[in-house]
Amino acid sequence: MSFSGFSKIGSQTGRVAWGREITVYNRGGLVRAQADADLMVTLSGNATFEWEGSAEIADGAAHEVQIARRFDEEITAWGALRAGSSRA
């Protein structure tokens, strides 16, 4: 589950106040998330981009996904970081 999902669940269960920003530091950098009472979650921080493209969103699902560019070097670097963290 993603960090954005955890922040939403934390607020729904009363562990974290709605609208409170939470920050987590990990080997890949830091990430911040904030869940609001309208269930909108804001996520910011370091990111690994796997692809760039577009999609049509309808009925809660992505349709006509078009990948314009892949970021294979980032994918490889993130994989190496994850492999190293499993040894720690």
pLDDT score at 61 = 84
pTM: 0.55
Rg of the chain over Cα atoms, rounded to whole angstroms, equals 16
Owner of token pair 């760039």? 52
Distance of alpha carbon 55 from the chain centroid? 18
Do residues 27 and 58 share a domain?
A: no
Asked if residue 12 lies in contact with residue 5, where contact means CB atoms within 8 angstroms, the answer is no
Rounded mean pLDDT for each run of 10 residues along the chain, 88 residues in total: 80 94 83 91 84 89 92 89 66
* Domain, as residue range, for 23: 3-45
Query: Are 57 and 32 members of one domain?
Result: no
Tally of domains within the chain: 2
Same domain, 34 and 14: yes
